[in-house]
Structure 1
Amino acid sequence: MDVFWTLPPVTRTITAAAVIISALGYGGMVPLMPLVFFRERILHIPPEIWRMVTSFLITGPKLSIVLDPYFLYNYGSSLETESPRFTRPGDFFTYVAFVALVILATGGMILRGYMFLQALILAFAYTYSQDNPTRRVSFFIITFEAKYLPYSMLFLTFIMAGPQEAMIQVCGLLAAHLFDFLTRIWPMFGGGTNYVTTPRIVQKWFGADNPAPRARGYGTAMPARQGDGPAQATATGRSFGFGGAWNGRGPGRRLGGD
């Protein structure tokens, strides 16, 4: 349990819930039908809104009970701990909520899908491939660059589960691409504004008011504390001899002098 609580919080929660619910469901201990997504039940009065969450926590049957949680945790934890997109507390949670809502709107409301875990996994894989396009990854027995990963996963779904399941999984790719467009491509190259930001309350949920160093793939992130500003930065700079107008410098000596 100590190891479990050290894992990335969002990914570990989704993965653990998917393993437990799927194992109980396919083992015949709990019914899965009340947990899958039905558009009519969402629009029903009162709406069965829990289906909007539980439909992302059911794996496929048989071997997918093992493979789906593996891929979910592998790419989700890599994004949550290493991606430069998610540097503030709660950023990865906002990303998951955004892509999930887009998947529900497209795969659920339009395509009438029932389960969306594989679409969420494909969204993770797509964002992972955008962050690491040339990294070598292994998919079953094949090794290739990560930029081909989401399309390989989609092709496998098409072959094994058919075009309908592949179309629903495509919704995950579209959701992740829309997130990338709204948060990176449009603000950076189109001069637009990024409106998909992490609300302050979500940042508080993930410890924004109690900053602590976070290990990341490219170093250790030191979250900014509330109230840190130019004065704090100046004070830090002076402590190393670089603040203000070089106020922290020593008396100086002329090179070559006595």
Structure 2
Amino acid sequence: MADNVLAAYWEMPAVARTLVTATVVLSGTCLARILSLGLFIHHPFYLWQFPPQIWRLVTCFFLSDHPISLLMDSYFLYRYCVSMEMGNPRFPRKVDLVWYILFICGTILMIDYVLGLTSFMFLNGLIIAMVYTVTQEQRGMKTQYFVLTIPSQMLPYCMILVALLMAPGKAVVEVEGLVAAHLFNFLTRIWPEFGDGPRLLRTPAWLESLVPTPRVAQRGYGTAVRPGNAPTGRTTGASTGPLPDSWKTRGPGHRLG
């Protein structure tokens, strides 16, 4: 039984598994009072002191303040992260999803700092950003939110409305996540495709070197194989086709006439 559970755990998509595990472990230890929540929340005071407590820039995205909230947050985080990692054509590589998460988190922190809101935890903002990004690919489809059937693209707004009624502070963070996700969508899709402009936000090369892309990857619709860098006629001076090998090479040129 334990072996089956462990095997199922390691078969989960890598990014979703990492995010959910970090959320459950960090939030669980804080809710159980093993560690203090104050050690991991975000606050500019701790970032500007010396030495700066820079881990707070990361840990504030893995915190939930109530057991029921932790259960719901973990569910939505896993569900929509898997949807992006396994079946979303906008993120064909794992590194593209990692770059998306880094951009969303950085933008949320920047918005919160510029507006002087001083929010402590940003997990809900990250979840709303993922929900928005996934549902943008599901226009015309329906989804279930509790007992309601609504258009898929309306789901993030319904979630923000519920948060506004139950916990206004979380609703503010969710709006920050929505703005960050829309900015990412604008820079990577709307402006290049519909504004006839350059793609202003690309996955950086330094991140590609840190997050390798396997040649064989499991997708929601099957197995994807990334082709290797095979030499082409443009680089070798030869081309494929029915001609003999002696005709495929390039010899010295001669002026005609």
Superposition deviation, residue 201 in structure 1 = 3.6
- Check 1:183–1:26 CA distance in 2 against 1; reply closer, same or farther (3 A cut): same
Q: Distance in 2 between matches of 1:16 and 1:175?
A: 24
Q: Tell me, in whole angstroms, the C-alpha distance in 2 between the residues paired with 1:217 and 1:51.
A: 34
Q: Does 1:127 align with 2:129?
A: no
Per mean C-alpha deviation after superposition, the further-off stretch among 148-157 and 185-194 is 185-194
Q: TM-score, normalised by structure 1?
A: 0.83
Deviation at 1:214, TM superposition (A): 1.7
2:125 and 2:176 in contact (8 A); partners too: yes
Give the structure 2 partner of residue 150 of structure 1: 156
Alignment partner, residue 123 of structure 2: 117
Aligned identity (percent) is 35
- Partner AA of 2:224 in structure 1: A
**Map of 2:179 onto structure 1:** 174
Q: Which residue of 1 aligns with 2:29?
A: 24
Task: Report if aligned partners of 1:18, 1:57 keep a CA contact under 8 Å in 2.
Answer: yes
In 1: Cα distance, 2:29 partner to 2:110 partner:
28
Q: Is 1:200 aligned to 2:205, yes or no?
A: yes
Q: Which residue of 2 aligns with 1:215?
A: 218
TM-score normalised over the length of structure 2: 0.84
Instruction: Report matched runs for 1:1-258 at 5 Å.
Output: 1-110=6-115, 111-162=117-168, 164-208=169-213, 211-225=214-228, 227-228=229-230, 230-231=232-233, 244=240
Distance 2:89 2:30 in 1: 37
Contact 1:56/1:120, CA 8 A, preserved across alignment: yes
Structure 1 runs not aligned, ≥5 long: 233-242, 248-258
Distance 1:229 1:216 in 2: 27
Taking the aligned partners of 1:132 and 1:97, their CA distance within structure 2 comes to 24
Are the equivalent residues in 2 in contact too, given 1:108–1:114 (CA < 8 A)? Answer: no
Give yes or no for contact 1:75–1:128 (8 Å, CA) kept in 2.
yes
Quote the offset at 1:190 in angstroms: 1.7
The amino acid across from 2:145 in the alignment is F
Deviations 1:90-124 (A, max 9, x none): 00000000000001111245321110000000000
**Over the residues paired in the alignment, what is the CA RMSD in angstroms?**
2.3
Contact 1:88/1:203 (<8 A) preserved: no
Larger mean Cα displacement after TM superposition, 97-106 or 185-194: 185-194
Structure 2's unaligned 5+ residue stretches are 1-5, 244-257
Deviations 1:126-149 (A, max 9, x none): 001111123332222222221111
Give 3-state SS (helix, strand or coil) of 2:230's partner: coil
Q: Contact (CA 8 Å) 2:85, 2:94: kept in 1 or not?
A: no
Secondary structure of 1:98's counterpart equals helix
